[in-house]
Amino acid sequence: MIPDPIAEGLANGWSAVDASGLSENKTLETDVVIVGTGAGGGMCAEVLCAAGFKVVLIEEGPLRSSRDFTMRESFAYPELYQESASRKTKDKAINILQGRCVGGGTTVNWTSSFETPPPTLAHWQKHHDVAGCDEAAMKPWFDKAFARLGIHQWPVPPNPNNAALQRGAEQLGLSFEIMQRNVRGCANLGYCGMGCPINAKQSMLITTIPAALDSGAALYSRTRAVRLMFSGDRVQGVVCAALDERGVFPTGVQIEVRAKAVVLAGGAIGTPALLLRSGTPDPYQLAGKRTFLHPVTAATAFFEEEIRPFEGAPQSIYSDEYLWPEGADGPMGFKLEVPPLHPVISATVLDFPGSAHHTAMARLAHIQGMLALCRDGFHPDSPGGQVNLRTDGSPLLDYPFTDFLRDGFRRSLKAMVEIQFAAGAKEVVPLHRHSQPYKTWAEAKKALDALPMDPTMVRLFSAHVMGGCPLGEDPRQALVNSEGRHHHLQHLWVMDGSVFPTSIGSNPQVSIYGMTLKNAEALVKSLKS
């Protein structure tokens, strides 16, 4: 039997309420209310509790733990992801994977861990008036996150899915590296995306959140932050709605949390949406604009030998060969990684009408997948998307394509297909509505030169939503200062991926941890003064 720290904590009397079971409205008073329990909310909660402050955590998703994590997609997607892992941009061109559970994205991510790349920090300093976030200033905070979450280079040989990226890169003389992961005692199972069944992944769910709850913090799950309360230039708290057991419809029960300070950590779609619903001051209309996705292109390859892409650490090799082609603000760069392929995720991305679909699925154990995280937001022709509100107040991200993006998508697909053939693939299918299984690199290259890189034609995904509430010293282009404090409302702070002025250029969890650790200290100082 695997020890379950959540079940133990609940048995020991944690203050944790599943709001779907509440029948009466509640009003709470606290020092700080944190909206969201992912990378930002979790880290911030631990810092505040350690400093002695009373904290209430608000989470839209459910509290689940290792005993629930049965490694089944049919459980994980509806329970642990926003919109059952089917969240899409307005034109339905990009499928967005975002966590929605206690621990947020950290409960379901693939454990890939990178400090913010130095060219990204330099770009923010130069173009976005971000202060105190250069490489040297950030290093102690990243070190702290590494130590807290056991982040280290993965010592186990890559699974065949990742080994193919390494082999292809070696054949072509491209650079590649071994991944750093936030795991302790990992059994190399490969089900990180469905919640770690053995608590090896050092997510917020099993690290900072239990620490905060042990210190007396209160957690409300199945609770949606609806709007901020503020008077004049001071924020006063947040009004929340309890959701039903499925997390779909509000039950009608309201929870009002009054606090000395409010921290927004609901992610780069949720945080701007809450600001927009609340009508908080935003004289330069920045909330929800410049939202970035690391749009992901992907290619699947069929190998004669078994790949078994559903087993083993999902991401253990990456290549930054094409990440900074002409510096930070040249043509769009991309980071190459590998996705795990379980039956549902594979079935929904393999796009062949008729029996060809099942024929491809029947070869699942021989499929190798590759993905490219496209680095958006660094060039004037990559302004990102805009979070808007539907009539029911729910967020909808509009993410228009530009020729700059199309060029990056095409180059990234070509790069992946070339590597897959170099690694020994017999057939490669770049994910595009009109692509075919190609038998040679030359044939695939010719096809990719012609295929239109338009919405709902090229298949795009995103697992990293960033921006929409950017930090910086100049209120004309930033909504919060470099420490995450709102420029126009006192006692309102933002600590999640929405503060980034561009995308990161690598998987963002450690960027959020580092920035949050730094900014939570600033919040502690402000609360003490």
Partner 1 sequence: MQRRTFLKAGLLGGTALACAGWLSHDTFWGKGTHLAAKGDHRYDFLTEADHAVVSALAPAVLAGSEAAGNPKLTEEVVHAVDQTIAAFQPSVQAELRQLFTLMTLAPTRVLVCGLWRDWPAVTPDDADAMLRGWHASRTALLRSAYDGLQQLITAAWYGNPRSWPALGYAGPPPFHNNGEVTE
Give the footprint of partner 1 on residues 120-179 (CB under 8 A): none
Tokens of 214: 């042990």
Give the integer Cα–Cα distance in Å for 74 and 60.
20
Q: Are 80 and 64 in contact (CB under 8 A)?
A: yes
Q: Are 112 and 337 in contact (CB under 8 A)?
A: yes
Q: Which residue in 84, 171, 388, 526 binds partner 1 (CB under 8 A)?
A: 84
Token look-up 């450690």 returns: 510
Q: At what angle do helices 160-172 and 403-422 cross, to 10 degrees?
A: 100
Asked if 365 interacts with partner 1 (CB under 8 A), we say: yes
- Contact window for partner 1 (CB under 8 A) among 79-87, 155-163, 208-216, 506-514: 79-87
Nearer to partner 1, 390 or 476 (CB): 390
Give the footprint of partner 1 on residues 49-78 (CB under 8 A): 66-74, 77-78
Q: Which residue in 139, 357, 439, 446 binds partner 1 (CB under 8 A)?
A: 357
Tokens of 48: 């505040």
DSSP 8-state assignment for residue 38: S
Token look-up 């690694």 returns: 423
Minimum Å distance from CB 392 to partner 1? 6
Q: Which residue in 126, 433, 446, 476 binds partner 1 (CB under 8 A)?
A: 433
Smallest CA-to-CA distance from 293 within 405, 416, 403, 128 is with 405
Nearer to partner 1, 389 or 522 (CB): 389
Minimum Å distance from CB 461 to partner 1? 12
Nearer to partner 1, 233 or 244 (CB): 244
Nearer to partner 1, 79 or 418 (CB): 79
Cα 432 from chain centre: 24
Asked if 247 interacts with partner 1 (CB under 8 A), we say: yes
How far CA 205 is from CA of 100, 107, 112, 331, in Å, comes to 12, 6, 17, 38
Minimum Å distance from CB 361 to partner 1? 6
Token look-up 């280079």 returns: 153
* Neighbouring C-beta atoms of residue 73, cutoff 10 Å: 18
Give the integer Cα–Cα distance in Å for 112 and 332.
22
Give the integer Cα–Cα distance in Å for 9 and 413.
47
Nearer to partner 1, 4 or 521 (CB): 4
Minimum Å distance from CB 14 to partner 1? 19
Q: Which residue in 42, 197, 272, 514 binds partner 1 (CB under 8 A)?
A: 197
Minimum Å distance from CB 100 to partner 1? 10
- Contact window for partner 1 (CB under 8 A) among 117-125, 377-385, 389-397, 489-497: 389-397
Q: What angle do CA 82, 88, 90 make, to 5 degrees?
A: 130
How far is the first Cα of the chain from the last one, in angstroms, to the nearest whole number? 47
Minimum Å distance from CB 312 to partner 1? 11
Please name the residue ranges forming H helices in 187-319. Answer: 208-214, 267-278
Nearer to partner 1, 77 or 493 (CB): 77
Asked if 364 interacts with partner 1 (CB under 8 A), we say: yes
Q: Which residue in 180, 221, 346, 509 binds partner 1 (CB under 8 A)?
A: 346
Nearer to partner 1, 24 or 304 (CB): 304
Which residues touch 295 (CB under 8 Å, ≥6 apart)?
94, 374, 376, 399, 405, 409, 460, 461, 462
Given the rule CB under 8 A, which residues bind partner 1?
A: 1-2, 4, 66-74, 77-78, 83-84, 86, 91-92, 189, 191, 197-198, 246-249, 306, 310, 342-344, 346-348, 351, 353-355, 357-359, 361-366, 390, 392, 394, 396, 433-434, 455-456
